[in-house]
Structure 1
């Protein structure tokens, strides 16, 4: 995380200075001081995800997209980390979820990790919607959705009706009341929210500099660049090339994603597409991509990849992108999610 932070800060500051953004740099320094104080005052720090959780991330991304919560991938990773560390055949501990129709609804009954992820993500999507969570940075409602995943989403409606939302106190109250009503010694984990959030770093002041938002932030810092010399010369070319892939690779390099092996360095669109497909990190056209995914296009509809960009966001019907060499400039674009020019997406495992 420290290395990724260094890359992100270097890229953003470099972009601002290149654009003569001295005033913005001063503002960022001020924000940094405030943010530093916020971090010092927060006893929680983001703990590392296990190799097992990272290995499951492509499945998490796939099902998060399918169920309309693609921006919550880091949250789901944190849930999985708390539930199982990514180990076992039921890494989301989703056997008791109502969407589990293939195995008994008893703890640990699911015997298929991919199915566990599908069931768990689908159920968490319900929790997000019932909590009214507007995004992963909507921390109050995010906490409500998390506790709902642990207790069952009946807690969410109860907490809203009786207390206006989540609190540690009412999470404990609900646990005690449910345990007493069922004659059990305990019910769920009243500390589930802080237990999950120790693995989640997406709700802080600098959320746009890390994880999925990092690549988007760097790409957007280059909006307005014309000609692309900065990108194709960085790649090693001595004269102008079609530079959309060079732009994506440059952004990935600035984010530390090439060094980490999350994104290849490529100058030919087909090479990038093939790499993601060979790595099992390919998401088909028509699905909902996560911010920071790599989007590949086929303008001629002949099966050959012609263009590439970076997904900024997707609202379920429209995909918004940042692209190099779009009219020989870095521009924001948008497409219908079912556009027949979209070949698919490379999923970036952060």
Structure 2
């Protein structure tokens, strides 16, 4: 009996010691969690090789946890490892969430896109012109962010993590964006001979040669690639390797999530379309289609985006340059058509019949549905003011002709 009591007391002391150890481990874990946030900012110089090793180690540790191993110790280590990942350039893939500042990478990109468009509009408003010619393309956003992530996390004077967004980092991102993109403009006056037609009053059409003087406004958008920016900033081999790893094709889905909140599926064509926002003049799209000079290029843009996703070859979306005679009939003939009362999904093809002095019952413009929120359809459209732009309309808006609904 005495032996049993002694054994019970010993067991009780062991249990108490175990409980104290568990509490100590939990306390250590909490401290580690707080420390990891601070340590993340100091770990921004982690190399690609180190990050890969961290990811591999994290997977192994998670497996150990699942097997019921040294949980308290492993939690501490995992927290520290995750902190190192977030503190590296790869923290950019965590920047799609609001960390409490009211800002995310998506809101930052939208603000810069708006600023870019306002600059274009200001140039147009500040010049009197008869003819507008726009050309060029803007840097792809994932390249801008890759340069930003590497430069910011490896800055020898003021390294910062890029998993969160605030006012200071927004200014850093804007600075890099405008170093990568340039808008230039010029004007010229040309005297030309044109043919004017008129009615002589007797039902006869009279053609007359008239000399006119026209003012041309040329707007050109030019950009630098990520590699050119690496040269400009003097990136070393390790920084270049980090940037290349960020831009690897296997990370495209992560970029879609960070930039546009798209997690895959029908969003692939939306991601491609959004990557082109800000491009002007349409030359990459109408020249890809096979035209030797500018045409109304909204359908060429949709076709180009579809081709980038492999949808034309797969027969999911047609290659078309005309809305009324090619695009709309293709969807209607295959039972892939909805009228304007339909609530679309991302990736649907939206057709319009503009009320430009009266609607004619035929589609004359087309775009890609980005998303639907709060009763509005958000779109990406080529040849919207001669550029790729994001627009929005109420569901059922009278100028929406209908929707092609690809069977993705």
- TM-score interval w.r.t. the shorter chain? 0.3 to 0.5
Larger Rg: 2
TM-score by length of 1: 0.44
TM-score by length of 2: 0.38
